[in-house]
Structures are given as structure tokens and as C-alpha cells.
Amino acid sequence: MDRMKIIKRRLSMSLRSARPVDDSLSELAEQMALDETPGARENGETCACGYGRGPISNFAGGIVHENVKMGSDGESDQASGTSSDEVQSPVRVRMRNNHHRRISNEDINKRLSLPADIRLPEGYLEKFAMNSPPFDKPMSRRLRRASLSEIGFGKLETYIKLDKLGEGTYATVFKGRSKLTDNLVALKEIRLEHEEGAPCTAIREVSLLKDLKHANIVTLHDIIHTDKCLTLVFEYLEKDLKQYMDDCGNIMSVNNVKIFLYQLLRGLAYCHRRKVLHRDLKPQNLLISEKGELKLADFGLARAKSVPTKTYSNEVVTLWYRPPDVLLGSTEYSTPIDMWGVGCIFYEMITGRPLFPGSTVEDELHLIFRVLGTPTEKTWPGMPTSEEFKTYNFPLYRAEPLVNHAPRIDSDGHDLLSKLLQFDAKKRVSAEDALKHSYFRSLGEQVQTLPDTASIFSVKGIQLQKDPGKRSSVHPESSKSSHDQKE
């Protein structure tokens, strides 16, 4: 608790200081990384939706204060001085810009990494042409932030609240609309008056994940900071995987299972290449677009795995999707922690029911061992003789073929599922290798070479089919919001 108070005090001081806000957040996150908070929202408590603690990616707006005493880039007015960030003379800049070419809306969008459908304020084009350095020169951080703020990023009035989607302990999520693009957004309002919880996870998210840009990771468009609230602006998706399965009566097309699983592995492989562990994979944290694009969401428990000897909390991952090594107390884990959850989600999609729906840690381990067999020295070297394992005194369960529990799965799918559900974390297949598994051969070779930001549906011939349990369209509207409260 004392540490949380210190972190919050540092956050408040850094937000009032002359330093750029994202720098302050990054530094605080590094300080937080020295001390993993145990018991972080056991069983995956979220705040109303898959945006829960929120993923960070493709962040265009930077962090901008709604504080008149601060510059639009989060630096105090006094801090600007005459540094290299100072805005150059409009006359000289205009002459140099005009010397090259006339600036268009497309130029500004590219210069500031803006979406193509953004609506620039009236007269902004001419003003940008006067104040921006030539396109062959880099744009300073200060000028970039000032430009983004002038367009409308970092301002509450830029977004219209529509419906309340849900409320959790630390945050409330609203459906909204951006005045900049007229697109729907999800507005996650994190209250800052609490002593612990959401503000700290928000710091972690921003510093760790703001640079993730992938078609299968939900996009964060903007961050708005006020004295009492931190608002994260996400792209809006209609539902999550749990609600998708509910909508089709838990009987999914095997083709759709394959497409969703491949997208899950794509997003996860991208994270793992960057040493980012999600640590809270479950159907509620996988958002689904109208087209059928699956996107990883809720990175509030995510961590960067950089130092091999570092230990982490074992109170991560919602119970049903938590691997046995973590259930038995392991804190020295890496990317395989996520792969067990992928196996559980794969099984749930193909069968329509959770694989290991335990109510306690001991119950969860019993369910796992009933299906996969009680570990032996052969299946899990060293574990049967460990003190953590012996305290439970498990019966000797015999392994059952997974196909007995999932009759719709083919031989390739069964092989992949078995590789995901390995007791020994070192033996679990990686996301990168799983993408190359023969189970996905029917998707064609082109999916293997897609750019990170390209959708799988850009490949000819890949499309969702009608789910057997659904009466109407291929990808129907959900009967309820995708952001209902998750327990």
C-alpha cells in the first residue's frame, strides 16, 4: 500500500512537472517493474469490457494535458526556452515549404501518422504549412504535440459520449464517437482518486505497449488526462469471443475456429517477439469486429520479459486459463504462460465449453490432471517430487485422449492442441511455430507473409462461414453489448 501511495504521488508530481508526460509515465513504469504486485485482480477482474485494463497500440495522439498551466505537449510554458524544440519563424518556414511543394491533407496525415479519414479543422492546412519545418527535416516532439492538440487530440470535447457500456472498480467504459473521424470509439475513464489499481496499470500499459501496431491487437487512438480522470480512447469493436460463441449457441464453424485461432496466434507472436507477455488470455479479452477480425485486448496484466532471472507474480491469468506450472506457484515464467491459455481457448471454440472450469486452484489442478493425467517424471521432470506438488497429494489419474473430449477436431488440430497443453512450459509450442503448424495449411501460404498491420481477410478466399448454431447471417449483430460487465 505504501508503495502504491509513493507511485501515485510520483505520478501526480510528474504530471505537474516540466517534463513530457509520456517520459514521466515510462520512468514510473520502470520503477513499478521492480516490484510486481501480487494478487492483481484475481480471476481477471476487468472494468466492464475487453478494453478492461486496456491494450496500447498505434497511439497517434500522444498524451496531452487538459491543464491550462501546461503546454499542449505536457511541458510547462516556462520549460520551452530556446531549445531545439522551439517553433521556428513562420515566415522562414513558409518560404522553405513553398520552395518545395504545396502541402496537402494527405501530407499532414502522413507527417503526423493520422488516419486517412480524419477531419482537419478549418484553416488548419494553411497554418500547418506555415509552422511545420520542411518535409526533409525531422519534426520536433514539441511541435508535433502542439499540432496534434490543435487538431483535437487529447481533448475531451473531441469525443461524444453515447452509451455507458459498463463499470468496474476503477474505471467506466462508454461507447462514443470521435468528431475527428465520425467513427465509433470506446472511452475508458480511469478514476485517479484511488490509492492503488487502475492508475498504476495505466502507467504500465502506456509505457509498455504504446508502440504495438498490429492488425490483431486492439488500437488505442488517444489519451486524455485531467486532474481526476485518465481517459483511454480505443477503437470500438462489436463483441468479444465469449459473446460471439454465445450468439452462435456455442457451436462454431470449424473453419471459423481456425481463422480465429490463427489471428490469436498472429497477435501473440508479435507480442512475444517483443518480449511482451499478455498474461490474461481468455475469450472475454479477445475482441471481434463485424468482419471477423480478432484482436487481443486488455493488457493490464501484461509485462515485459527482458531479464531471464526476473521473477513475477503467480497471481496472473484467469483461473480457467492458468497453466499448471503457475497454479503450482511458479514465478519464473516466460512466453509459454500465454500458450497454455491458447490451448484452452482453442478447445473452448471447437467444443463450445471451457476445458478446465475450476473453482479453486486445487480444483483447477484436479480437472487438468483428470484429462491429461497426473504428472510423472516422464511427463513433467522434477515436478512429482517437488514440495508444492506433494502438498496436494493428487490421485494417480490416467491421461485420456483429447479427441474423446473434442470429437469435431481433426488429427492436425488434435496434434496442435496437444503441443499447446504441455505440462512442462519448455515443451509448449511457441506462437511463432504454431502459426506454421499443418493445421493451418488450408489457409494457404499467403497468410504466412502478411505485413503486421494487414488483416487476414485481405487474403483472397479467407472468409467466415455461417456457424451451425446461428440461424441468421454469417457474422450477426450481438444481442447484447460486447462490453457488458465481466466477472
**Domains in the chain: boundaries:** 2-9+18-27+36-65+155-235, 86-139, 239-458
pLDDT range class, residue 148, cuts 50, 70, 90: confident
Taking a C-beta distance cutoff of 8 angstroms, is the pair 343, 368 a contact? no
For residue 25 the three cell numbers come to 509515465
CA distance 92 to 101: 15
Phi, psi of 187 (to 5 degrees): -105, 110
Same fold, 2-9+18-27+36-65+155-235 and 239-458: no
Residue positions forming the annotated binding site for ATP: 188
* 198-209 vs 21-32: helix crossing angle, rounded to 10: 110
CA distance 219 to 201: 17
Beta-bridge partners for 173: 166, 188
Dihedral of alpha carbons 269, 271, 277, 282, sign: negative
Taking a C-beta distance cutoff of 8 angstroms, is the pair 418, 347 a contact? no
For residue 228 the three cell numbers come to 481526476
Q: What is the pLDDT of residues 166-176, one digit of tens each?
A: 787 677 889 99
pLDDT range class, residue 281, cuts 50, 70, 90: very high
Residue positions forming the annotated binding site: 188
User: Residues with Cβ < 8 Å from 182, sequence gap 6 or more?
Assistant: 117, 119
DSSP 452: T
Taking a C-beta distance cutoff of 8 angstroms, is the pair 180, 151 a contact? yes
Task: Reply yes or no on whether the pLDDT at 316 is more than 60.
Answer: no
Taking a C-beta distance cutoff of 8 angstroms, is the pair 262, 447 a contact? yes
Helices (H), 336-464: 336-351, 361-372, 387-390, 411-420, 431-435
Pick the CATH number of 239-458 from 3.40.50.300, 2.40.30.110, 1.10.3720.10, 1.10.510.10: 1.10.510.10
User: Residues with Cβ < 8 Å from 153, sequence gap 6 or more?
Assistant: 60, 61, 62, 64, 180, 222
> What pLDDT is recorded for position 331?
79
Using a cut of 0.75, tell me whether the model's pTM lies above it.
no
For residue 156 the three cell numbers come to 475531451
Please say whether the structural domain 2-9+18-27+36-65+155-235 has been given the CATH code 3.30.420.40: no
Positions annotated as catalytic residues are 280
Which is it for strands 63-65 and 220-225: parallel, antiparallel or unpaired? parallel
Among all chains, which residue has been given the C-alpha cell 488500437?
219
Percent of the chain whose predicted confidence (pLDDT) is above 70: 66
